[in-house]
Amino acid sequence: MARPIYKTYMFRDKDPVFDALKTCIQIFMAVNNIKKFGTGLKILSGISGVHISTLYGWFYYTTRSARTETFMAVLHATGQTARIGKTEVGHKPKFKVIKGGKKAA
């Protein structure tokens, strides 16, 4: 039986974002010539700061859904970005750095 989070977002076993992330990890592994999926997870754990047990929980155990900040940290560690519609999420800084400006008090 599907567990509804929202009526428009239902899944049976695991959140579908794991499938998208797994594809990004596989691309990262192919580009960096990494053969084993577990090895790729260990490398991404070091880059992203997300604990290896979290990553193993996502792909090998019963974790049903991920927190957005951990998902995005791993996604960005692969060199990929996420989009919602036409907007890239978490990719560009929100503020411009102004040279010669006054420092905050």
Helices 17-31 and 37-48: angle between axes, nearest 10 degrees: 100
Domain containing residue 39: 9-89
Q: Give the pLDDT confidence of 32-45 residue by residue, as tens digits.
A: 888 888 888 898 88
Percent of the chain with pLDDT over 70: 68
Q: Give the pLDDT confidence of 4-53 residue by residue, as tens digits.
A: 556 666 667 777 788 888 888 888 888 888 888 888 889 888 888 889 88
Strand 87-89 with 82-84, pairing:
antiparallel
- Residue 47 maps to which CATH number? 1.10.260
DSSP three-state, residue 88: strand
102 within some domain: no
33 within some domain: yes
101 within some domain: no
Total-model pTM: 0.67
Residue 96, C-beta contacts closer than 8 angstroms, at least 6 positions apart: none
94 within some domain: no
Helix (H) or strand (E) holding 89: strand 87-89
